[in-house]
Structure 1
Amino acid sequence: MTNDDVEPTRPLPFAPPPGPAPSWVPPTTQAPPYAWSVPGQQQPPPPASPARHAVPRGRVPAWVWPVVCLLALVVGVLGGLVGGVAYERLDDADGTVAGGLADVDTVSEPPLPADNGSIASVAHQMLPSTVQVVASYEGEEGGATGSGFVLDRQGHIVTNNHVVADAAEDEGPIEIVDREGNHYDATIVGRSPVYDLAVLHVPEATGLTPAALGSSQQLVVGEGVVAIGSPLGLSSTVTAGIVSALHRPVTTGDSANESSYINAVQTDAAINPGNSGGPLVNLRAQVVGVNSAIATTGGSIGGESGNIGVGFAIPIEQVKVTADQILRTGEARYPVIGAKVRTGDSDGSGAEIDSVVADTPADDGGLEKGDVITEVDGDRVTDGIALIVAIRAHQPGEEVAFTVVRDGKERTVTLTLDGEVG
């Protein structure tokens, strides 16, 4: 499958050093004003004093004085008792009555452990498995900064291809930095530009904790997820959100020849430059995707941009397949049918075939220019990108059913997928 006229979603670029902190801005919400008097304005008259009525004088009976004295004695005794009890209780509670906070140990109990499924619990389990990736190229140290996670105890790290691609072409050094700040030299085992994945090897980092892998197929829209990485070079950063959509066909890359296609998990967890290659994690602390791209508004191709709440992750199922291929053979393979489709504007009715390569599965299956593919294995296809993503969700050698419309007539064609390296 080839493509033209790509309008890519922006891959996450490397993270530049953080800039200066913004100046403090006073709050815009003001408290209600006090009722100050304004010079020159007539002020309302003061409230009238209550009327006083003279009390006629008279002789106090002799029996009143003993009663008054007795009442005064009783009130004094009760007041002393109540005051003593209140003092003791306040003093026992936190010691603030006697000597202030300086004389008191304010930490009486250790903090409660994070509940299973909480963001704090996920971060506690995943941070030791998440690393920062620094790839240098063109003699510029720290030319690209991204993220990654530990795949196994042999020191293999998963990250995005676009994090290390320039360093690989320039044969520049690559290193990873763990949560403790330890630096390790890394080598590239293999890369897949098609799936925007790469596997690194760090022989000296065999003591790092491998991440637990989950399943993106078990996710539901609205489920909580956590993104971990090094946005803007800030290592061990944790952000949280929800699964916004599943099976979102997106393309990333700066040109048609460098594009990768993702059957993505969409999330509103904050993802920024530097998060590339880091894990997207469910609330069971299992990796369900690799953060790879963000949608942008008004940004130029290749320019820097930040989170707007629309991020995309490569499903972990594809990550496992591609990583396994790279670890076994040093390269990754992706499926093709041998047809070219346009990936530009579409009316949403399907993917129209622009040309067919001879001696390919598409040619053997009788597909022709102008045919419109509307479904792949029963799943609807709306345009060229959706078709490419649907095909690449399978593996070379698999049989896949395509629903094809030609001259208004619909038929089903079953093709055995071919494979190419990429």
Structure 2
Amino acid sequence: MNEPEQPSSPDEGYRDDELTQPLSLGPLRPDEQSPRPPADAAQADEPRYDGPRSEAPPAGAPQPGVVQPGASWLPPSSPPAGPPDPWGGYPPPGTQPMPTEPPAHRASAGPRARVSGWVWPVLAAVALVVGVLGGVAGSVAYDELSDSDAPGTVSGGLDDVDTVSLPPLSAEQEGSVAAVAEQVLPSTVQIIASLDGEEGGATGSGFVLDKQGHIITNNHVVESAAKEDGKIQIVDQEGNRYDASVVGRSPVYDLAVLFAEDADELPPASLGRSQRLRVGEGVVAIGSPLGLSSTVTAGIVSSLNRPVTTGESSDDSSYINAVQTDAAINPGNSGGPLVDLRGQVVGVNSAIATNGGGTISGQAGNIGVGFAIPVEQVVVTADQILKTGESSYPVIGAQVQTGVRDGSGARIDKVNDGSPAADAGLEEGDVIVEVDGDRVTDGIGLIVAIRTHQPGETIEFTYERDGEERSAQVELGAEQG
């Protein structure tokens, strides 16, 4: 196999001393949900200028209106300065665009020119054609979302869906767990999926990605249902249930994207940046631990860039460059959002450290050490899945030891012929100690460091061979998963 994550032998694998586990909840049943309440009145659209248009300004005057840039799915580095313009660049009602120079006076008040009779039928025909074309474009966009080979995919990925990236809380509200919960709970869902053929055998959590009805969760929550074409439902804060299907999964990153066509009115969660986090900063975990829906717990960021692996065997291992938190996380929290105190998602809760204890479900509970997938990785993987229904991850085409954790580096056990590692001159026995200048202490750290990059990128490896330190430029390959 052309994967770096496999140990050189079963005896050297990382599974013997594994301390983390995925959080999906097995046969526990969630509480009965209340029936769907009557639909509320539709919310008013954003304010816009629908009043009478002003006469065109004279020649040389600026035209009203501004060009709006295309929406980006990447979170901004900082909120835009000043409040947004509620009129979208148009003058508010009751105002006129102001010319830069006074209009010239008319020389005389002669009779007005008449419009030829043939102009009106032509204008009517043009308007009809434009209307028809607009309708066709709208139907094409809808078909692109709903009738593709993989239901729920969109050709443009995150650029073609409506996500949110501005913080929902003001500076005055920031820091309040109650305010965070009020904002994010409506965007958090419980997930009920079949497990080994048993309907509703697995429960987890997720959050709303966009206004089109896409949901983010962990792969291990829906993996069994996806393989067996089992039933998957999402349950919102009000107890309403929606049927969902899997758009695509990434076992490597333990992420999945679901599509619930009837859930397009659920509000999307705001996507933040884990790179802004500082150790000690407050965070909130939201989800359905032990089947208890809409549960909120709070804590701090305990560590950043923590290399961990989850899964019960080397075949289903996921390697995470995790955000570590002491916010209470339990089985059933899997896939739910980890949120900063601005109300933005900074990670996806995925694993907990264990001490060998167990619960009624056979899984250990919270001991104050939980791990979340950084939101930056979620964005990259979700974009890939939305485009094609699949995701890819970077590889170097070498096998490394993952059971040795003495801090000396990552030892290469095998280099595949024709692989990126071979092309870069790496050999069996080389010990990788740095990736792009960042220290690597073991095989898990190397795999995590590689997977924070994208296929096609070139990264620098610093390694030791025969007591001598060397460097190599490695162009990353790609595999699906």
| Residue in 2 that maps onto 1:175 | 233
Paired residue for 1:119, among 177, 181, 186? 177
Give the alignment of 1:4-403 within 5 angstroms: 4=7, 5-7=13-15, 8=18, 9-14=20-25, 16-17=27-28, 115-299=173-357, 303-403=362-462
Post-superposition CA distance 1:246-283 (Å, at most 9, x none):
00000000001110000000000000000000000000
Contact 2:279-2:303 at 8 Å conserved across structures: yes
Q: Secondary structure at the match of 1:3?
A: coil
Distance 1:409 1:358 in 2: 24
Deviations 1:356-394 (A, max 9, x none): 001011000111110000000011000000000000000
Give the letter aligned to residue 132 of structure 1. Answer: Q
Give the drift of 1:346. 2.5
User: What's the CA shift for 1:138?
Assistant: 3.6
Moved over 4 A (4+): none
CA contact (8 A) 2:219 2:251 kept: yes
- State the one-letter code of the partner of 1:371: D
Give the partner amino acid of 1:2. E
Deviations 1:122-154 (A, max 9, x none): 000000000000001344221100000000000
TM-score by length of 1: 0.76
* Alignment deviations for residues 323-367 of structure 1 (CA, whole Å, 9 cap, x no partner): 000001110000000110010022111000000001011000111
Give the gaps of 5 or more residues in structure 1: 20-113
| Residue identity in the other structure for 1:417 | L
Indicate the residue corresponding to 1:411 in structure 2: 470
Q: How many residues align?
A: 328
Distance 2:259 2:25 in 1: 20
User: 2 CA distance for matches of 1:330 and 1:316?
Assistant: 19
Question: In the aligned structure 1, how far is the partner of 2:438 from the partner of 2:454?
Answer: 17
What is the rounded CA distance, in whole Å, between the counterparts of 1:217 and 1:304 in structure 2? 31
Q: What percent of counterpart residues are identical?
A: 70
1:2 alignment partner, SS class: coil
- Residue 382 of structure 1 aligns to a residue whose secondary structure is coil
1:412 CA drift (Å): 1.1
Where structure 2 has 5 or more consecutive residues not aligned to the other structure, the ranges are 8-12, 31-171
Query: Any conservation in 1 of the 2:279–2:301 contact (CA below 8 Å)?
Result: yes
Return the offset for 1:169: 1.2
CA drift at 1:115: 3.6
The amino acid across from 2:407 in the alignment is G
Q: Is the 8 A contact 2:456 2:475 kept in 1?
A: yes
Q: Judge conservation of contact 1:291–1:313 (CA < 8 Å) in 2.
A: yes
Higher Cα radius of gyration: 1
Quote the offset at 1:15 in angstroms.
Answer: 5.2
Aligned pair in 2 of structure 1 residues 299, 256: CA closer, same or farther (>3 Å)?
A: farther
The Cα shift of 1:18 comes to 7.5
AA of the residue aligned to 1:10: Q
Q: Structure 2: how far apart are the matches of 1:344 and 1:177? A: 40
